[in-house]
């Protein structure tokens, strides 16, 4: 899923404090699971904004609403659409995709982002998420027995490890980040496939990553 975290409160408040009628719109999918922008976080932020406005004697109406997915037009029903149009501004707690999708659907309303979108990740334990995929467009997990060097090696090395791997940890963040190449070697050892690493991997085709410009995907059979 897409993992995000909330922007610092002061940054959010500065961006919305001039609006008298603010709608905070949460998203019920990824950012609900990573506890950054679901119904609960919308409630917390709405209460914080109400309190901050009260502290400076500012009149501000804060509405709360959360929809299933901000990145899908079908979830913008007539109720939420009219709340968006009636608001002075919308503070979206969706990921960057959600924010931009609202901008595309409601081009007359100012939209502010409430989250910093971070990565595609897995839930490692309650309250902790870690990056696992960087959406490179041409998956090489098969070559590396299911451990991604693009997203999990700090230097995205296709032929590793580098000299900074020590005690199984990466030199870039030895406290928290395991060396992806240590993980790859450990896994290959376990599967008896270490000889696979004798093969030198050619440079990856990055044109299918972000480096080839914005991407789109189409399923001909599904388009109307």
Partner 1 sequence: MEPNIIAFCCHYCAFTAADLAGTMRQQYPANIHIVRLPCTGKVDINMLLRAFVDEADGVMVAGCEVGSCHFLEGNIRAKKRVEYAKRKLEEVGINPEKLEMFHIAASEGPLFAQTARDFTDKIRRMIQQESQIEQGSEGQKKKEQIAEPVDNRKEENDRSTGAM
Which parts of this chain interact with ligand SF4 (CB under 6 A)? 133-136, 139-141, 148, 150-151, 153-155, 157, 160-162, 164-165, 170-172, 179-181
The set of residues, in sequence order, having a beta carbon less than 8 Å from that of 193 and lying 6+ positions away, is 145
52 binds, among ligand SF4, partner 1, none (CB under 5 to 8 A by kind): partner 1
Q: Does 110 bind partner 1 (CB under 8 A)?
A: no
Residue with tokens 């002075």: 88
154 binds, among partner 1, ligand SF4, none (CB under 5 to 8 A by kind): ligand SF4
Smallest distance from ligand SF4 to CB 183, Å: 9
Q: Which is nearer to partner 1, 26 or 149 (CB)?
A: 26
With CB under 8 A as the contact rule, the residue among 17, 28, 33, 52 that binds partner 1 is 52
Helices (H), 106-179: 149-152
Residues 43 and 62 sit within 8 Å (Cβ to Cβ): no
Residues 55-94 that bind partner 1 (CB under 8 A): 55
Residues 97 and 71 sit within 8 Å (Cβ to Cβ): yes
Q: Which is nearer to partner 1, 37 or 149 (CB)?
A: 37
Q: Which is nearer to ligand SF4, 15 or 177 (CB)?
A: 177
With both helix axes pointing from N to C terminus, report the angle between 39-55 and 9-16 in degrees, rounded to the nearest 10.
70
164 binds, among partner 1, ligand SF4, none (CB under 5 to 8 A by kind): ligand SF4
Binding span for partner 1 by CB under 8 A among 41-49, 87-95, 171-179, 195-203: 41-49
Parallel/antiparallel/unpaired status of strands 2-6 and 111-113: unpaired
Q: Which is nearer to ligand SF4, 79 or 166 (CB)?
A: 166
Q: Which string of DSSP letters, residue by residue, matches 171-213?
A: TTSTTT-B-HHHHHHHHHHHTT-GGGGGSPPPPP-GGGSGGG-
Q: Does 48 bind partner 1 (CB under 8 A)?
A: yes
Parallel/antiparallel/unpaired status of strands 115-125 and 2-6: antiparallel
Spatial strand order of the sheet with 128-133 comes to 2-6, 115-125, 128-133
């Amino acid at each position: 899923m897409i993992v995000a975290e909330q922007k610092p409160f002061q940054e959010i408040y500065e961006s919305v404090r001039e609006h008298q009628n603010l709608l905070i719109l949460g998203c019920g999918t990824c950012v609900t699971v990573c506890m950054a922008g679901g119904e609960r976080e919308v409630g917390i932020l709405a209460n914080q904004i109400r309190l901050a406005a009260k502290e400076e004697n500012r009149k501000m109406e804060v509405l709360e609403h959360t929809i299933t997915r901000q990145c899908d037009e079908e979830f913008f029903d007539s109720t939420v659409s009219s709340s968006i149009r009636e608001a002075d501004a919308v503070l979206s707690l969706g990921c960057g995709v959600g924010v931009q999708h609202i901008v595309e659907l409601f081009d007359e309303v100012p939209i502010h982002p409430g989250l910093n979108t971070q990565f595609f990740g897995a839930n490692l334990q309650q309250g902790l998420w870690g990056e696992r995929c960087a959406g490179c467009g041409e998956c090489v997990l098969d070559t590396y027995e299911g451990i991604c060097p693009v997203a999990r090696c700090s230097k995205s090395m296709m032929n590793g490890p580098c000299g900074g791997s020590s005690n199984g940890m990466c030199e870039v963040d030895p406290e928290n980040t395991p060396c992806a190449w240590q993980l790859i070697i450990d896994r290959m050892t376990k599967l008896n496939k270490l000889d696979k690493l004798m093969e030198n991997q050619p440079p990856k085709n990055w044109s299918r990553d972000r480096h080839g410009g914005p991407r789109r995907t189409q399923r001909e059979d599904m388009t109307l």
